Chains A and B, each alone.
Chain A
């Protein structure tokens, strides 16, 4: 069996992940085109693109813990692509809302965002994602400086919290929190691991300083 590093560093690995990440999109596009998304295709597209945004968010945030726990440093090369897919599906989600739900009526959208808290929260998450996506290339890191770039990209934690709140508020009208709890639990574990890791790192120098 080839080692994990060999698989992860294989030249075909990145294109393969890229194609896999596009599968949900292709499937939704095909379903919309052939009208096989059920009685309410607009609702189906709106919900599915939201689901896939959350799933890619979980995947992206799982990269660093997985890399450390399984000692697969090569996993890091997929993080940026996965992060950009979060933005890709978030954009589709926003587009589905603006187009299928609001008929691209800009006036109505502007009025709708502050009126409905869950839309506001979702929109805020998208706004925070945008500068992250815009600075995802190497030259942006250089131009900003690694420290500032990292600070900006810490916004992903706020985005994760906003995304769960958005989903929670949307489902609260129906008291239907099963799925919300699953995503919340996954994200809590992924963020909790980072907090624990941070405390551990801080604890070590303080022991040394004794």
Chain B
């Protein structure tokens, strides 16, 4: 409609626009201000917003607490999606193509014992037992927007640490330009591995600078607990500025290469899913528009969809990675 109403949804500002950068960096001072009650009315809003970001634990799985993150853009102030929705509406084709399938079928996955192999162009290739990988760096809570290529979105509090921590430990060679993420493909525990929808195992990839970006999260938990199987237990990737399918679940191999990895969806339909797959409202998927999205559990049946933000609202943090690139060509 030409006439805009409240129900048209609203453009959510970048987190960095809500809170001035000076306030971010001077957080301790501000906490003191808040504690002494000298903050004034303008700051009260900030305090209550932060309180909203704390989500109650669902009480279903083992606790996995994450500390505060100092990474910019790590915590969105938006309303967190319910655990019920986030754990029953999943795309995890190894367990079926319907979004209700993974929650029904993924109980067969055994997240322990688990090992992740780091190989390829690195000085220190290694096989990490899950326990060791979890101890490699301090766990942080990151509340990220998740935008699916299908046009829906969620806000999920993940627990993990920046992928960069692991990359620094294994010391990639100068020739390593890309990181390939290979996910579990076990026909015994994953009933739909072998279906013709995709080539198995599901492989994803990032450019080295994307993998090194502090927002790229090696993820072990969500909502203060370990990952449910259907969300990619025991360890997955979360790349918040890319469409959800770029974030591989149940990782078994991290491989450093000099060539752009052939990713699963790109192999299945190259004209529809590019290697980059950055969230971009101006580049439509051939069969649907990417300009808007429906926030699961929040935008009612009759509400207009909300506008999708460039790089899923993380433009301030990641925009410079793609400076000078034609994003219509490298979609």
By a beta-carbon cutoff of 8 Å, the part of chain A in contact with chain B is: 32, 38-43, 45, 99-101, 103-107, 112, 115-118, 169-170, 172-176
Contacts and interface: CB of A to CB of B under 8 A. Distances in A.
Interface residues of B, number: 31
Contacts, number: 65
Contact of B269 (A106, A170, A175): A175
B301 interface: yes
19 contacts: A39-B85, A39-B88, A40-B89, A100-B301, A100-B302, A103-B303, A107-B1, A112-B289, A116-B286, A116-B287, A116-B288, A118-B287, A170-B287, A172-B269, A173-B285, A173-B286, A174-B97, A175-B268, A176-B97
A118 to B, nearest CB: 6
B2 interface: yes
Interface string B193-223: 0001110000000000000000000000000
Given A43-B152, A100-B301, A175 B88 contact: no
Given A43-B152, A100-B301, A170-B287, A38 B197 contact: no
B284 A42 contact: no
Interface of B: 1-2, 8, 84-85, 88-89, 97, 99-100, 152, 196-198, 268-269, 272, 284-289, 294, 296-297, 301-305
B193 to A, nearest CB: 15
A133 B197 CA distance: 38
Contacts of A101: 305
A41 B288 CA distance: 19
A122 B84 CA distance: 33
Nearest to A178: B97
Contact of A105 (B1, B84, B100, B302): B1
A116 B151 CA distance: 15
Given A39-B85, A173-B285, A107 B2 contact: yes
Contacts of A173: 269, 272, 285-287
Contacts of B303: 103
A52 B297 CA distance: 25
A39 B89 CA distance: 6
Given A112-B289, A169-B287, A32 B97 contact: no
Nearest to A111: B289
Contacts of A115: 284, 289
Contacts of B289: 112, 115-116
A4 B12 CA distance: 63
A43 B198 CA distance: 23
Contact of A175 (B197, B288, B297): B197
Contacts of A104: 1
Given A103-B305, A116-B286, A175-B268, 19 more contacts: A38-B99, A38-B100, A39-B84, A39-B88, A39-B99, A40-B152, A40-B294, A42-B301, A103-B303, A103-B304, A105-B304, A106-B1, A116-B289, A117-B287, A173-B272, A174-B97, A174-B197, A175-B198, A175-B269
A80 B253 CA distance: 59
Nearest to B88: A39
A175 B196 CA distance: 8
A39 B102 CA distance: 14
Contacts of B196: 175
A38 B88 contact: yes
Shortest beta-carbon contacts, A-B, top 9? A39-B89, A103-B304, A39-B85, A175-B197, A39-B296, A176-B97, A173-B287, A175-B268, A116-B287
Given A173-B269, A175-B268, A41 B301 contact: yes
A42 B294 contact: yes
Contacts of B286: 116, 173
A115 B316 CA distance: 31
Nearest to A35: B301
Nearest to A100: B301
A164 B268 CA distance: 21
A35 B220 CA distance: 31
Contacts of A103: 1, 8, 303-305
Nearest to B304: A103
Nearest to B291: A108
Contacts of A176: 97, 197
A24 to B, nearest CB: 18
B83 to A, nearest CB: 11
